[in-house]
């Protein structure tokens, strides 16, 4: 027979996010909590800290307000400079892009293909305009 667990004094905002997550996964609240607990105790599973914890540990601004998982930075990784290496690597990937000016999207917006195409079109148009400006200024110099 299973053990009964209860969680008391859950903030309403957190409870609502949990209800939404359960609905997205087509589960009852009970089944969603069970899935979360099972995932948390799986061998080799990493702890899932509160959203933004890794960014706060790394000393960078938190851009994502809601997430199902955040990469947890261990003290060893931070001491070894792995955080700086990771941030440098990410900076290299997005260098020259319009990443910093991209709007933050809700999960629903991120999965809206028409909206994604619209953002992609706008980003490509802006990149093309930037390239033309650079070409004009480079050619005149």
CB 85 within 8 Å of CB 91: no
For residue 70, the model assigns a pLDDT of 47
Specify the pLDDT at position 66. Answer: 39
Spatial contact of 17 and 10, defined as CB atoms under 8 Å apart: no
Selected residue with higher pLDDT from 59 and 20: 20
Cα–Cα distance, 47 to 32 (Å, whole number): 17
pLDDT digits (tens, 9 = 90+) for 62-120: 443 334 444 555 555 555 555 556 666 666 666 666 666 666 777 787 788 888 788 77
Q: For residue 122, what pLDDT band results from cuts at 50, 70 and 90?
A: confident
Query: What is residue 141's predicted lDDT score, i.e. its pLDDT?
Result: 44
Query: CB–CB of 58/88 below 8 Å?
Result: no
pLDDT tens readout for residues 14-55: 889 889 988 888 888 888 888 888 887 877 665 555 555 544
pLDDT for the residue 83:
54
- pLDDT for position 65: 37
Between helix 29-41 and helix 12-24 the angle, nearest 10°, is 90
pLDDT value, residue 84: 57
pLDDT at 73: 53
pLDDT attached to residue 62: 43
* pTM recorded for the entire structure: 0.35
């Amino acid at each position: 027979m299973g053990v009964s667990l209860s969680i008391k004094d859950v903030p309403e905002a957190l409870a609502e996010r949990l209800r939404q997550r359960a609905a997205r996964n087509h589960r009852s609240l009970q089944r969603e909590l069970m899935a979360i607990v099972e995932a948390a105790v799986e061998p080799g599973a990493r702890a899932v800290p509160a959203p933004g914890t890794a960014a706060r540990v790394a000393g960078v601004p938190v851009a994502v307000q809601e997430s199902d998982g955040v990469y947890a930075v261990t003290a060893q990784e931070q001491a070894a400079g792995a955080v700086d290496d990771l941030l440098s690597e990410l900076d290299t990937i997005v260098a020259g892009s319009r990443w910093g000016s991209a709007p933050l999207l809700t999960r629903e917006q991120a999965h809206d293909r028409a909206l994604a195409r619209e953002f992609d079109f706008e980003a490509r148009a802006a990149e093309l305009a930037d390239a033309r400006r650079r070409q004009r200024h480079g050619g005149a110099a």
